[in-house]
Amino acid sequence: MGTKTFRIKSEEVEHNWYIIDANNRVLGRLATKIATVLMGKHKPYFSHDTDCGDFVIVTNASKIKITGKKLDTKFEYRHSGYPGGDKYIPYKKLIKTNPSKIIYLAVKNMLPKNKLRAKFLKRLKIYPDNTHPHIAQNPITLS
């Protein structure tokens, strides 16, 4: 006599909208909160193989706080695929040119490395200032 387990289907999941203000928030702690909501781990019917996450809007990405010496020692790494085609961009330069990318990379590396990661990242909306075009979705504020 086995017990029946509750499994929700992807089409039955309701995807809510949440908004997070990144003003003076530490990068790593903010990224874990965002990744948790994107995966749906805050929901009681969470399952690893089902897409049950929500949309996340991040505002004030340019005012994120990076602790320690990470501004000087941490780099964004890219490679073109050609010999000698590697590029290292320090976070000190990246936070001035593209602060949204710092949050995007932190969240991307915290998500599982499988087919669902692309779906999760499509639901992440990052804006460098306080304005965003998603007012019609009535986002819920996350502390």
* pLDDT tens digit sequence for 20-52: 999 999 999 999 999 999 999 999 989 888 899
For the chain, the distance separating the N- and C-terminal CA atoms, rounded to the nearest angstrom, is 44
pLDDT higher than 60, residue 1: no
CATH (residue range 15-66+97-141): 3.90.1180.10
Predicted local confidence at residue 26, as pLDDT = 97
pTM value is 0.91
Q: CA 24 to CA 67: how far, in whole Å?
A: 11
pLDDT per residue over 7-20, tens digit each? 888 888 899 999 99
Domain limits of the chain? Answer: 15-66+97-141
DSSP bridge partners of 59? 21
- Which three-class secondary structure state does DSSP give residue 120? helix
Q: Write 105-111 long-range contacts (CB < 8 A, 24+).
A: 105/76, 106/27, 106/28, 106/30, 106/31, 107/31, 107/34, 107/35, 107/38, 110/31, 110/32, 110/35, 111/35, 111/38, 111/39
